[in-house]
Amino acid sequence: MATKSLLARKDDLANTETQLEYLSNGIFANGELPTFKDKIAETGNFPLKPRKLEILQINLGYMCNQVCSHCHVDAGPDRKEIMTRETMQQCLEVIKKTGAHTLDLTGGAPEMNPDFRWFVEEASKAGIKDFIVRSNLTIIRANKKYYDLPEFFKKHNVHVVSSMPYYKREKTDKQRGDGVFDKSIKALQMLNDVGYGKEGSSLRLDLVYNPSGAYLPSDQEALERDFKEALKEDFNIDFHNLFAITNLPISRFLEYLIASENYEDYMYALVEAYNPAAVENVMCTNTISISWDGWLYDCDFNQMLGLKVASKVKHISEYNEDLLQNRNIIISQHCYGCTAGAGSSCQGTVA
Amino acid sequence: MQKTYYDPADLRKFGSITEWSEELGNKFFEYYGKVFEEGALSAREKSLIALAVSHVVHCPYCIDAYTKDGLQRGITKEEMMEAVHAGAAIQSGATLVHGVQMMNKYNKLSM
Ligand code: SF4
Ligand code: SF4
């Protein structure tokens, strides 16, 4: 596993133009596979338009304590892009006015932003219905200063959504000692201890599962059942729901697909699993994504591809929800990741 | 003509067998799909059976397909390997049990 971001490695794929070219060339340029635009046009869904805005997703920065090889953010300890308090102020103004009912903080590891706690405290006062923080779990165990995060989340009634890479303790992980798996387990137990994830508890704890390889997630309910059984039996851990999320072919996952010669097969699998019913509910139809430096995007993936919203309003400083709702959503072949099978979004399946 | 008998990319074209015999092709795929649905056996259990049989019938396409299917279902590599051994054990058992025929014949022919 790489220990540096694509950016720090000066890899060609750190350039978003290169990624976008890759996604448009080859099997999509020669007509072997239909482009996403042609595919959604079959059912009259082009141009893709937003529906009601429900979710504001704010990316607090690309810094992370981990360097996962599937990361679509190209996050890592070497990424220095971090939202400033000034931009957070602008976000707070928007949060107070928005029609969205869900606020979703993500990263990188959002907790690593030095103003993270201040921002959560301020944002929680806005009384938004569902306040999500996407936590990678290991951060809670990464340093003593993070040990009290479960208590902090509880105090502000934060809905914790955590990535949990494995649900079974494979033999190799048993031998690895205090690795990602063990830290994640410990962090989940800490969250459980303060009341998160228990049946009937209003302290919501959901898990995110991404396949760790070039294959699609299978049935979300079946996976949730397996996760629940295994985590309960082996570690006495409780959680509410499992979101099965498809890896999109961008950033480090794209790097992996190309390097392992899985790219074409993976794109075939995505196109083959295309589900027109999922198109209606792809994440960008109810979400606005805001980057660490205040730019607006259709989703976190478009943010990582540098595709700013196609609207007169492009920055949080000039935010105007009505204008934004009129935009056309920018698409490319990575979008097939959102429409495969039961569909995929930050809230799991969509169809 | 291609130079090898098996091309991994051919697996994607499996569906095209319907083009030369639509009725039989469609019936096969309908049957195939039905077989692997949840039933008295779970789809997960059937996936492991399919993986074991794939090895026994030496089908590289099926091995690729059911290894991937297993990964998608969260089947572990230990489970997969045990399934392959179950197939292999039956296959070698099937060979060895014919040893009895050999012994019978030997005995019959010997004075
Ligand atoms: S996938 Fe999440 S935890 Fe892993 S490097 Fe990316 S942001 Fe960090
Ligand atoms: S990748 Fe973004 S823009 Fe494309 S379908 Fe998914 S959510 Fe929408």
Positive/negative CA dihedral, B80, B86, B87, B91 = positive
Q: Is the CB of A75 under 6 A from ligand 1?
A: yes
In chain A, domain spans: 3-338
User: Taking CB atoms and an 8 Å limit, are B71 and A211 in contact across chains?
Assistant: yes
For the domain made up of B21-109, give the CATH fold.
AhpD-like (1.20.1290)
Q: What pTM was estimated for this model as a whole?
A: 0.91
In terms of CA atoms, which chain A residue is nearest residue B44? Answer: A222
Q: What's the pLDDT at B79?
A: 96
The mean pLDDT value for A141-169 works out to 91
User: A164: pLDDT confidence band, cut at 50, 70 and 90?
Assistant: confident
Residue at A245: amino acid letter? I
Dist. CA A55–CA A286, nearest whole Å: 6
Diameter of chain A by CA atoms? 55
Contact: B71, A213; criterion CB under 8 Å: yes
Residue B12, CB-side half-sphere exposure with 13 Å CA sphere: 15
pLDDT at A212: 85
With beta carbons less than 8 A apart as the criterion, state whether A7 and A79 touch: yes
Q: Which residues pair with A295 in a beta bridge?
A: A315
pLDDT band at B1 (very low <50, low <70, confident <90, very high): low
pLDDT score for A3? 85
Decide if pLDDT at A175 tops 70: no
For residue A55, the one-letter residue type is: I
Partners of B78 on chain A (C-beta within 8 Å) are 170-171
Question: Given strand A130-135, what is the order of strands in its sheet?
Answer: A242-244, A205-209, A159-163, A130-135, A102-106, A55-59, A287-290, A296-297
Q: Is A136 in the pocket of ligand 1 (CB under 6 A)?
A: yes
List the beta bridge partners of residue A328. Answer: A310
Question: Alpha-carbon distance A188 to A228, whole Å?
Answer: 13
What is the predicted pLDDT for the residue at A202?
Answer: 96
H/E element, B107 = helix B77-109
Q: If you measure from the C-alpha of residue A142 to the centroid of ligand 1, how many angstroms do you get, rounded to a whole number? A: 14
Structure confidence at residue A166 (pLDDT): 72
The whole-angstrom distance between B107's CA and the closest CA on chain A is 50
Q: Which of A70, A265, A268 to mutate to test the interface with B (most CBs of B within 10 A)?
A: A265
Q: What whole-number distance in Å separates Cα of residue A291 and Cα of residue A18?
A: 20
B5 compared with A74, residue with greater pLDDT: A74
pLDDT at B49: 98
Looking at residues B64-88, what average pLDDT do you find?
95
Least confident of A50-59, A161-170, A239-248, B24-33: A161-170
Model pLDDT, residue A286: 97
Residue A157, pLDDT > 60, answer yes
Measured CA to CA, the distance from residue A328 to residue A69 in angstroms comes to: 32
Q: pLDDT, tens digit, for every residue of A102-141?
A: 999 999 999 999 999 999 999 999 888 999 999 999 999 9
Place B3 in a pLDDT band, splitting at 50, 70 and 90: confident
Q: How far is CA A23 from CA A36, A172, A289, B34, in A?
A: 10, 35, 22, 35
Backbone angles phi, psi at A223, to 5 degrees: -65, -40
Query: Rounded to whole angstroms, how far apart are CA atoms B98 and B80?
Result: 28
Give the tokens for residue B19. 């083009």
Is A248 a residue whose pLDDT tops 60? yes
pLDDT of res. A318 = 97
Q: Comparing A295 with A67, which gets the higher pLDDT?
A: A295
Angle between helices A251-259 and A16-24 (to 10 degrees): 50
Contacting residues of A for B82, CB less than 8 Å apart: none
Q: Which of A132, A106, A112 is nearest to A64 (CA)?
A: A112
Return the sign of the alpha-carbon dihedral for residues A21, A26, A30, A36: negative
* Domain map (residue ranges) of chain B: 21-109
At A110, is the secondary structure helix, strand, or coil?
Answer: helix
Nearest CA in chain B to A217: B72
**Domain A3-338 -> CATH class:** alpha beta
Residue nearest to atom 4 of ligand 2 (CA): A335
* pLDDT over 60 (residue A35): yes
What is the spatial distance between Cα B23 and Cα B35, in angstroms, rounded to a whole number?
18
What is the predicted pLDDT for the residue at B20? 97
- Is pLDDT of A11 > 70? yes
ipTM of the complex: 0.80
Segment A288-322, tens digit of pLDDT: 999 999 999 999 999 999 999 999 999 999 999 99
d(CA A201, CA A276) in angstroms, rounded, equals 36
Q: Is the CB of A66 under 6 A from ligand 1?
A: yes
A contacts of B44 (beta carbons < 8 Å): 222
Select from B69, B71, B78 the residue whose CB has the most chain A CBs within 10 Å, as the one to mutate to test that interface.
B71
Q: Please name the residue ranges forming H helices in chain A.
A: 16-24, 36-41, 85-97, 116-124, 138-142, 149-155, 171-175, 180-193, 220-235, 251-259, 263-272, 276-279, 300-304, 321-324
Average pLDDT, chain A: 94
- Closest ligand 1 atom, CA of A136? 3
Q: Which of A8-12, A39-43, A51-55, B3-7 has the lowest mean pLDDT?
A: B3-7
In three-state secondary structure terms, A31 is coil
Nearest chain A Cα to B65, which residue? A215
Q: CA A135 to CA B11: how far, in whole Å?
A: 39
CA of A268 to the centre of ligand 1 (A): 26
User: What band does A176 get if pLDDT is binned at 50, 70 and 90?
Assistant: very low
Whole-number Å distance, alpha carbon A278 to ligand 1 midpoint, is 25
Q: Which of residues 6-45 of B touch A (CB under 8 A)?
A: 8, 12, 43-44
3-class SS of residue A242: strand
Spatial contact of A6 and A76, defined as CB atoms under 8 Å apart = no
